[in-house]
């Protein structure tokens, strides 16, 4: 008994010790954020911006499993983009479920304004993401085995449904119907994979039901989130009036990291629209990456930005007051907002002001306040024909983000302007005279220089500029030289002609010595490569330069 008492006493003390240890351990455990209750972690996760949320997911297994869930992604999605975008996915299907009605026609694109309730997404959700397609398709296929509504045809991985030249943002024709959980057809998700002309018409649309909380619907939500949260929109995802015919066209190009450019052939009604959805609060700069070969599409063109609330009708964008607007009335005004050095704007051809692509940054800042908003960007010019414009992308640069704000031209203006990939034209102050380094060994110009003996880099010697004509020496241009006849032959001809002349003079009674002198004089005159008159050189070079531009460029 005493032993048992002792034992119990010992146990008690041990219990107390363990209790102390427990409280100490409990305190230690509670100190770690990963041990917080799930609802607390979810609240913290929902309060984080996208980038920090992604980083928070990478910290710990329990945090990842708690936050990388359908519920959290759904909450994040609706907080940022609104519930309306998901309306089509959450409602039961139409009675006339004809995919062709739901897909916009690509034949006659015209400026379309996205309505918040109608964004149609291609339903091969995992294949929207280039990164995850390889990793998640096997998982997807396994999940699809448990999903009644999976169409076995669509279970095969489908090609990446990148948006066509006119993005698929058309008003939905679906009447709103109350969701009926009893009739679980699983057709709440409509995803047409047959909107592109290139796809085979027999592919059935994959139907994913977002009302179900499973891996498939979660992946779809994440893919939709990725697609909508982009801060850079390529030209392919813009709405360009008259795209797809002889006015505008999408071309493949290695000059763009997206592989495609919108090329303006020639158009009167120029209207380009890009819409960013769910832009977080903050200050932004709007940047367009463009290539301009003519000032017509940019001078007197309005570049504007309009802010919309999530539930606001965006079809009023045309009339709504712009948050930012820029209408350059001159070339200088346009160039001042780009990353071009902007030297001698009026003295150079417009296309030579930008070596390739340029970044146009709209003056002023876009302020998104308090809540997520949609940003509507537009380039419009409805007067006169214009051509010579290539669009790569448009992006929003967040000035509140220290990592992104350096991309703004206003933060590194001079440095960016020089280092933006536009080579400074080193013409040493002489207009239209390219330096020898820039045109050293290519093109017909060096050949002309060699043949004509013109050295444009040599400055005009002021001492000799006004020499008398008698003292100037000139190089007789032999047309046969321009035809690339060997100089040996020409000189032989000349010597023959001089010999003939000497013979003639001899026949005329002149002494051979005088004839010889004359021939000597002629030979002296034919001493090669004496510099021609400066003005003659200037005019000749201008002519050659024009030929060079016409044929070489």
Partner 1 sequence: MPVILVSSDNQDFKVDKEVAERSILIKNMLEDVGESDSPIPLPNVTAAVLTKVIEYCEHHRNDPVQVPEETDDPRKRSNDIEEWDMKFMQVDQEMLFEIILAANYLDIKPLLDVGCKTVANIIKGKTPEEIRKAFNIVNDFTPEEEAQIKKENEWAEDR
Q: How far is the CB of 241 from partner 1 (least distance, A)?
A: 29
Q: How far is the CB of 182 from partner 1 (least distance, A)?
A: 26
DSSP, res 477: P
Q: How far is the CB of 261 from partner 1 (least distance, A)?
A: 21
Among 9, 14, 21, 51, binds partner 1 (CB under 8 A): 51
Query: Among 426, 444, 456, 475, which residue's Cα sits nearest to residue 546?
Result: 444
Structure tokens at 425: 């034209």
Q: How far is the CB of 226 from partner 1 (least distance, A)?
A: 5
Structure tokens at 209: 């039901």
**Contact in structure between 154 and 206 (CB atoms under 8 Å):** yes
Structure tokens at 246: 């002889």
**Contact in structure between 378 and 307 (CB atoms under 8 Å):** no
Question: By CB under 8 A, is residue 374 in contact with partner 1?
Answer: no
Question: By CB under 8 A, is residue 47 in contact with partner 1?
Answer: yes
Question: By CB under 8 A, is residue 58 in contact with partner 1?
Answer: yes
Per CB under 8 A, which region of 36-44, 138-146, 419-427, 474-482 contacts partner 1? 36-44
Neighbours of 426 (CB within 10 A): 10
Question: By CB under 8 A, is residue 313 in contact with partner 1?
Answer: no
Nearer Cβ to partner 1, position 25 or 151? Answer: 25
Residues in the chain: 553
Binding residues among 111-150 for partner 1 as defined by CB under 8 A: 129, 131-132, 135
Question: By CB under 8 A, is residue 84 in contact with partner 1?
Answer: no
Among 22, 371, 428, 500, binds partner 1 (CB under 8 A): 371
Per CB under 8 A, which region of 38-46, 115-123, 161-169, 523-531 contacts partner 1? 38-46
Among 55, 257, 464, 467, binds partner 1 (CB under 8 A): 55
User: Three-class SS of residue 261?
Assistant: strand
Q: First and final CA of the chain: distance in angstroms?
A: 109
**Contact in structure between 167 and 239 (CB atoms under 8 Å):** yes
Distance (Å, rounded) from C-alpha 411 to C-alpha 249? 34
Among 84, 94, 155, 231, binds partner 1 (CB under 8 A): 231
Nearer Cβ to partner 1, position 234 or 341? Answer: 234
> How many chain residues bind partner 1 (CB under 8 A)?
44
Question: By CB under 8 A, is residue 25 in contact with partner 1?
Answer: no
**Contact in structure between 174 and 135 (CB atoms under 8 Å):** no
**Contact in structure between 273 and 302 (CB atoms under 8 Å):** no
Neighbours of 446 (CB within 10 A): 13
- Cα 420 to its chain centre, rounded Å, is 14
Residues that bind partner 1 (CB under 8 A): 27, 30-34, 36-37, 39-40, 43-44, 47-64, 79, 129, 131-132, 135, 226, 229-232, 281, 370-371, 404
């Amino acid at each position: 008994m005493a032993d048992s008492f002792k034992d119990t006493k010992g146990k008690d003390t041990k219990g107390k010790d363990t209790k102390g240890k427990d409280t100490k351990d409990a305190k230690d455990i509670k100190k770690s954020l990963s041990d917080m209750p799930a609802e607390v972690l979810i609240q913290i996760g929902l309060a984080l911006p996208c980038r920090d949320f992604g980083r928070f997911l990478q910290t710990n297994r329990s945090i990842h499993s708690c936050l990388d869930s359908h519920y959290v992604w759904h909450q994040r999605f609706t907080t940022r983009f609104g519930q309306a975008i998901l309306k089509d996915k959450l409602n039961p299907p139409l009675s006339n479920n004809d995919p062709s009605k739901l897909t916009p026609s690509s034949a006659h694109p015209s400026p379309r304004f996205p309505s918040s309730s109608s964004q149609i997404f291609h339903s091969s959700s995992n294949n929207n993401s280039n990164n995850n397609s390889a990793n998640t398709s096997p998982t997807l296929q396994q999940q699809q085995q448990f999903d009644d509504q999976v169409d076995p045809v669509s279970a095969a991985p489908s090609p990446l449904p990148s948006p066509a030249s006119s993005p698929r943002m058309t008003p939905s024709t679906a009447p709103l119907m109350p969701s009926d959980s009893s009739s679980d057809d699983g057709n709440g998700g409509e995803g047409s994979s047959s909107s592109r002309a290139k796809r085979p018409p027999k592919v059935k649309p994959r139907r994913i039901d977002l009302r179900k909380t499973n891996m498939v619907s979660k992946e779809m939500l994440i893919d939709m989130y990725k697609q909508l949260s982009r801060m850079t929109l390529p030209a392919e995802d813009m709405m360009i009036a008259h795209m797809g015919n002889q006015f505008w066209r999408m071309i493949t190009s290695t000059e763009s990291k997206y592989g495609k450019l919108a090329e303006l052939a020639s158009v009167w009604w120029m209207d380009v629209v890009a819409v960013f959805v769910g832009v977080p609060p903050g200050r932004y700069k709007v940047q367009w990456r463009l290539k301009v070969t003519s000032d017509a599409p940019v001078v007197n063109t309005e570049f504007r930005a309009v802010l919309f609330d999530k539930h606001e009708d965006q079809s009023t964008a045309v009339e709504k007051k712009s948050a930012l607007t820029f209408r350059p009335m001159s070339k200088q005004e346009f160039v001042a907002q780009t990353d071009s050095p902007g030297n001698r704007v009026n003295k150079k051809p417009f296309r030579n002001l930008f070596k390739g692509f340029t970044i146009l940054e709209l003056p002023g800042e876009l302020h998104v306040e308090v809540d997520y908003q949609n940003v509507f960007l537009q380039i419009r010019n409805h007067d006169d024909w214009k051509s010579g414009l290539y669009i790569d992308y448009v992006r929003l640069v967040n000035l509140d983000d220290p990592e992104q704000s350096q991309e703004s031209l206003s933060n590194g203006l001079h440095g960016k302007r020089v280092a933006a990939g536009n080579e400074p034209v080193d013409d040493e102050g002489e207009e239209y005279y390219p330096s020898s380094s820039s045109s050293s060994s290519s093109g017909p110009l060096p050949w002309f220089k060699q043949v004509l003996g013109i050295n444009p880099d040599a400055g005009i010697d002021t001492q000799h500029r006004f020499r008398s004509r008698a003292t100037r020496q000139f190089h007789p241009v032999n047309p046969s030289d321009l035809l690339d006849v060997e100089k040996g032959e020409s000189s032989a001809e000349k010597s023959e002609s001089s010999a003939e002349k000497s013979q003639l003079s001899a026949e005329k009674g002149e002494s051979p010595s005088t004839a010889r002198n004359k021939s000597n004089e002629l030979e002296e005159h034919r001493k090669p490569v004496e510099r021609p008159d400066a003005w003659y050189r200037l005019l000749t070079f201008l002519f050659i330069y024009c030929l060079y531009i016409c044929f070489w460029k």
